[in-house]
Structure 1
């Protein structure tokens, strides 16, 4: 079979002219363009006559003449038959676009010419740039979130851990390679029994093709255990086949501690509420007075003392209180600050000590208001204490009041003082000095 060379060349010319990619042919001698197809001319914005005066490096702002000649030297020397590279083309109007170039060297009528097939890859490079930017943002989000994120493949091996996950587990990603994530951080129950992967709710998301969530206990790299809340979801490909699992995890040690503390607190509140009601009932029954108004006043004062003690405890989460705070609260509730002196070292009271001491101080302050130092304008009360070998000695001293004498009988107030002192395993002594009442209470911490 023979071909009509003229017809064939004409057809090839039309094919090249109408080709979707850009086609360039230029001389290996002067590097002037001999042929530039329609697609290239329209994209570049040059006419036939204009482009015939140009060279390849005129279109490529990234290359000087010497750099371009250095690039194509392997073709000229015969080291390779084709060159592939990416570069930028500049249009007549100054705009640029990305191109992928395939360059070959041919002999034509005794001359060497270069054939360049060029594909516009601007959209592809833009997409790649946007993808890289999106990946960068996702990486930034994942690395800065406090939520630990793991991605496992179809073998349940970890292929991604964000920074929070590495911090949570103590493992870097490369340390988990080659074995299921479960065998790294979830292999043992807290009691020491082995934890088979078949019993793992997290790993169940993959074979069962369904999301799951709940709480588990992980094993840190240092061997310690810590509780976590997790959500595990299957990862599907375009054909909806499960190809892995994504796991979100957060440590809940603090939540567990808070929950336990809340339960203890509720128990403590219940216990103390019952105790308070019992005390109020006793106060209601045993408080004595000559008339109803006096009874109401005395009872209200004692209940208010209880309330202040409870408020002090609640402010410190039922963990006790400072002796100085308890003293000042009770004294300042019944008298002005300028008639009070409070002095002593730092003493932390237990929750069981706050209420009795508040009640004791309330009774002493009430008596000082009615019969003692605070019943006179110039009367003063000082409350001081010392601390030695975990023994507190608290002294109440009144001055500037009326002349005092020892009572001939004990009322409920005196019985209450003795009772609350016994609650703190202490002792109480009272001395009626000419200058005023002195009460000394000693109790252990």
Structure 2
């Protein structure tokens, strides 16, 4: 089929297109800045008739811009003789009400004379939504800051309460007449001290819900050796993968298990002033975290390898209960060359 020859759009047709456009359209002179044409959408929104608008200039409906400011804004287009720009401002209706607008301004030529063609989009609702979003973000930031302060205060108070419990246990231990009771109270105090130290790290750290378990284990090993290595000299070996963080629900049980294992090694592996080595290895994969506590002491009386910790004492019961809480596997290897216990817990 032969292609139909394209006919140029007449000025009247162009006027009809502009008149019925969804956007507000303004055409005004680039010399005296008087409005030449304002379409129906703009007239209805502003509340002016066309005759009234032809007596006005752009700055008359833009309260944020004076005549001087508006002329200075469009001067680059006038000097270049062509081009366009986009900016946001405010329009004022005849009744005095305001609405936000986005202005796309172009410099064109009609019959050799420069004119400005402005397509205006009402962005009042968009700006309201943006301001609402910004306010919600601000409110959320304030709420998060309040939550952080609350967590910090809770950890601080828990730490102080645990220190009171530790002091009471220590006092009762000193007053106890039976050696077995003194030892039991001292062990209880040490266990509370582990929990208190976790809360100390949460209180002092930037994230009050997570603790770097590697840094904590280093402190725990040093503190335990310092408090219990009375006879002989104990060398510590630490191989701790950095950046492994756990929440308090996992950090406290794991720390208590490690503390029990360290205490067992220091109490029973190095007797009669024997020197030795105590070590901790922390590592991880995508699916699990592992902690190995080992020593080169005399080992248990019975050499064994198995998935559980043998023994019916309170320490063994604590380890078993806490490992179930963590859904952790406990692997033990003991013999004349020492003992190694590995805790493997799944990553959440």
TM-score by length of 1: 0.41
State whether structure 2 residue 218 is matched by structure 1 residue 321: no
* 1:290/1:182 CA distance change after superposition, 3 Å: farther
Aligned-pair distance for 1:224?
6.8
- 2:279 is matched with 382
The equivalent position to 1:176 in structure 2, one of 65, 85, 89, is 89
CA distance in 1, matches of 2:196, 2:272: 25
- Secondary structure of 1:405's counterpart equals coil
Which of 320, 327, 341 is equivalent to 2:237?
A: 341
Contact 1:320 1:352 in 2 (8 A): no
Corresponding residue number in structure 2 for 1:423: 325
Which one of the candidate residues 160, 171, 183 is aligned to 1:294?
183
Find the partner of 2:257 among 346, 360, 374: 360
Matched, 1:226 2:134: yes
Question: Which one has a bigger Cα radius of gyration?
Answer: 1
CA contact (8 A) 1:313 1:354 kept: no
Report the equivalent of 1:432.
Answer: 334
CA distance in 2, matches of 1:219, 1:290: 72
Q: CA deviation at 1:158?
A: 5.2
Mapping of 1:24-423 within 5 angstroms?
175-179=88-92, 183-184=99-100, 219-220=129-130, 225-227=133-135, 254-262=141-149, 265=151, 273=158, 291-316=180-205, 317-335=207-225, 339-346=235-242, 347-373=244-270, 376-399=273-296, 401-406=297-302, 409-423=311-325
CA distance 1:156–1:392, change in 2 (3 Å): same
Query: Once the 2 structures are TM-superposed, how far is the Cα of residue 308 of structure 1 from its aligned partner?
Result: 0.9
Question: Which structure shows the higher helix fraction?
Answer: 2
Structure 1 residues 377 and 313: alpha-carbon distance in aligned structure 2, compared to 1, 3 A threshold: farther
Alpha-carbon distance in 2 for matches of 1:306, 1:295: 17
Q: CA deviation at 1:403?
A: 4.8
Corresponding residue SS for 1:305? helix
Report deviation, 1:156.
Answer: 12
Greater RCO structure (CA 8 Å; 6+ sep): 2
Contact in 2 for aligned 1:218/1:227 (Cα 8 Å)? no
Contact 1:373 1:398 in 2 (8 A): no
* Mapped contact 1:382–1:396 kept (Cα < 8 A): yes
Task: Name the SS of the counterpart of 1:318 in structure 2.
Answer: coil
Asked whether the equivalents of residues 322 and 348 of structure 1 are also in contact (C-alpha less than 8 Å), the reply is: yes
- Cα distance change on mapping 1:310 and 1:218 into 2, 3 Å: farther
Q: How many residues align?
A: 221
How far does residue 414 in structure 1 lie from its aligned partner after superposition? Answer: 0.3
**Where does the alignment leave 5 or more consecutive residues of structure 1 unmatched?**
1-154, 161-173, 186-195, 198-216, 229-250
**Cα deviation per residue 1:164-183 (whole Å; 9 max; x = unaligned)?**
xxxxxxxxxx7233248974
The whole-number CA distance in structure 2 between the counterparts of 1:304 and 1:291 is 20
TM-score by length of 2: 0.51
SS in 2 for 1:441: strand
- Relative distance call for 1:357 and 1:157 in structure 2 (3 A) is farther
Farther-moved stretch of structure 1 (373-382 vs 345-354):
373-382
Q: 1:348 to 1:256 in 2, by over 3 A?
A: closer
Q: Show CA shifts across 1:196-234 (max 9, x none).
A: 99xxxxxxxxxxxxxxxxxxx9643xx871118xxxxxx
Query: Does structure 2 conserve the Cα–Cα contact (< 8 Å) formed by 1:318 and 1:351?
Result: no
Q: Residue 365 and residue 409 in structure 1: after superposition, are their counterparts in 2 closer, same or farther (change >3 A)?
A: closer
